[in-house]
Amino acid sequence: MTVTEQRGAYRPTPPPAWQPRTDPVPLLPDAEPYRVLGTEKAAEADPELLRRLYAELVKGRRYNAQATALTKQGRLAVYPSSTGQEACEVAAALVLEEHDWLFPSYRDTLAVIARGVDPVEALTLLRGDWHTGYDPHEHRVAPLSTPLATQLPHAVGLAHAARLKGDDVVALAMVGDGGTSEGDFHEALNFAAVWQAPVVFLVQNNGFAISVPLAKQTAAPSLAHKAVGYGMPGRLVDGNDAAAVHEVLAAAVRRARAGGGPTLVEAITYRVEAHTNADDATRYRGDAEVEAWKQHDPIVLLERELTGRGLLDEAGVEAARQDAETLAASLRARMNEDPALDPMDLFTHVYAEPTPQLLEQREQLRAELAAEAEPEGAQR
Ligand SMILES: Cc1ncc(C[n+]2csc(CCOP(=O)(O)OP(=O)(O)O)c2C)c(N)n1
């Protein structure tokens, strides 16, 4: 038989040991982001939960505005506003049990305070003070992470360890669309799926990584599709629909708690403000785009649903606004007090056992401070 005849007769068969590891079809995200508000599904949502979400969204929006104002007054070094993304922030916090863990990024202050962290302590890092500012163990909230995606392997490690110990803990880790390009994102998702760790990954796709639009970040059909490559379900949700985000995250948390493994949730949302107070967003995007997203505002969507169904009246709207004003007033007053800082704290908690160099530097600073504290003329 000639080679050509052999080729003609060749029937490809898979290598003997090969079979698909899992059926990819159930892992695929839906074609459209999941929505609840303004659809028939809204009737099934718990009215109490919707009202709670609403109150937190209104407070969150006011907190964002106040924190941004504090940067202009020199009271806060930097603030990455989550205006427009409040539904993701609040749903992520409310969906967890007290004994679960939240792993936020620098943009997620609202999720952190909605989980119970003191609103001023949550800003410590962004104020330029030392360390995290709050005790991560008190409310089970990891430090706000500035290095992109590094919080994700931490979340996986904690969740996996908890499972090994038999603790009923779920970790919810938040990351931006830009963060999905980091190696840490890949490593975290891979480990989580291989170990079936009880983790929920929430990607807030807000359109930009500073000035870099999503189109330059990935060629994937959606960020949720990335889940399939790791062997976990990917879910797409309207990130401005608080009821939908809560429902999708709640299902993912239940699945993780029951031993079903991790889920990747991509919430489609929009960063209405600039990246931080140090950014000029008009240099890379137009007003028309921002305006279009403002028409799909998370607070308006929920308020319309609640008032339309008689679950919220004008007095309720006013009460939520008043609560938000009280929070903002307290934030203003407390942030306008100069924090009492001890420069020697610089050396605390760097290492369990300070290095000789650190000890030497500590003594240098102590001597400098003591010399400064001496009364005028005493040094001459
Ligand atoms: C490892 C790392 N690389 C680069 C940066 C600089 N940086 C800070 S924010 C940012 C954009 C992140 O965008 P995205 O993940 O979409 O989150 P968003 O700010 O939109 O919430 C970059 C590149 C960083 N903080 N960490």
From 92-106, 184-198, 321-335, 366-380, the region with the lowest mean pLDDT: 366-380
Average pLDDT of span 206-225: 97
From 13-22, 164-173, 194-203, the region with the lowest mean pLDDT: 13-22
Q: What is the pLDDT of residue 376?
A: 66
**pLDDT higher than threshold 60 for residue 343:** yes
Q: What is the pLDDT of residue 378?
A: 58
Q: What is the pLDDT of residue 2?
A: 67
Mutation test residue for ligand 1: of 107, 148, 182, 204, the one with most atoms within 8 Å of CB: 148
Residue nearest to atom 23 of ligand 1 (CA): 209
Instruction: Grade residue 10 by pLDDT with cuts at 50, 70 and 90.
Output: confident
Q: What is the pLDDT of residue 14?
A: 76
Average pLDDT of span 222-238: 98
Average pLDDT of span 101-128: 96
Q: Is 213 in the pocket of ligand 1 (CB under 6 A)?
A: no
Kindly report the three-state secondary structure assignment for every residue of the chain: CCHHHHHHHCCCCCCCCCCCCCCCHHHCCCCCCECCCCCHHHHHCCHHHHHHHHHHHHHHHHHHHHHHHHHHCCCCCCCCCCCCCHHHHHHHHHCCCCCCEEECECCCHHHHHHCCCCCCHHHHHHHCCCCCCCCHHHHCECCCECCCCCHHHHHHHHHHHHHHHCCCCCEEEEEECHHHHCHHHHHHHHHHHHHCCCEEEEEEECCEECCEEHHHCCCCCCCCCHHHHHCCCEEEEECCCHHHHHHHHHHHHHHHHCCCCCEEEEEECCCCCCCCCCCCHHHCCCHHHHHHHHCCCHHHHHHHHHHHCCCCCHHHHHHHHHHHHHHHHHHHHHHCCCCCCCHHHHHCCCCCCCCHHHHHHHHHHHHHHHHHHCCCCCCC
Mean pLDDT computed over every residue of the chain: 94
Catalytic residues: 271, 275, 284
Q: Is 266 in the pocket of ligand 1 (CB under 6 A)?
A: no
175 C-alpha to center of ligand 1: Å?
9
Instruction: Grade residue 341 by pLDDT with cuts at 50, 70 and 90.
Output: confident
Q: What is the pLDDT of residue 346?
A: 86
Average pLDDT of span 282-296: 96
Q: Which residues pair with 101 in a beta bridge?
A: 171
**pLDDT higher than threshold 70 for residue 19:** yes
Q: What is the pLDDT of residue 219?
A: 97
**pLDDT higher than threshold 90 for residue 374:** no
Q: Is 107 in the pocket of ligand 1 (CB under 6 A)?
A: yes
The domain spans of the chain are 32-335, 343-380
**pLDDT higher than threshold 60 for residue 380:** no
Task: Quote the pTM value.
Answer: 0.92
147 C-alpha to center of ligand 1: Å?
7
Q: What is the pLDDT of residue 11?
A: 76
Mutation test residue for ligand 1: of 210, 269, 277, the one with most atoms within 8 Å of CB: 210
Nearest partner of 335 among 178, 155, 180, 120, judged by Cα: 120
209 C-alpha to center of ligand 1: Å?
6
Tens of pLDDT, residue by residue over 24-64, are 999 999 999 999 999 999 999 999 999 999 999 999 999 99
131 C-alpha to center of ligand 1: Å?
19
The hierarchical CATH code for the domain 32-335 is 3.40.50.970
**pLDDT higher than threshold 70 for residue 283:** yes
Q: Is 226 in the pocket of ligand 1 (CB under 6 A)?
A: no
**pLDDT higher than threshold 90 for residue 350:** no
Instruction: Grade residue 16 by pLDDT with cuts at 50, 70 and 90.
Output: confident
Contact 158, 169 (CB under 8 A): yes
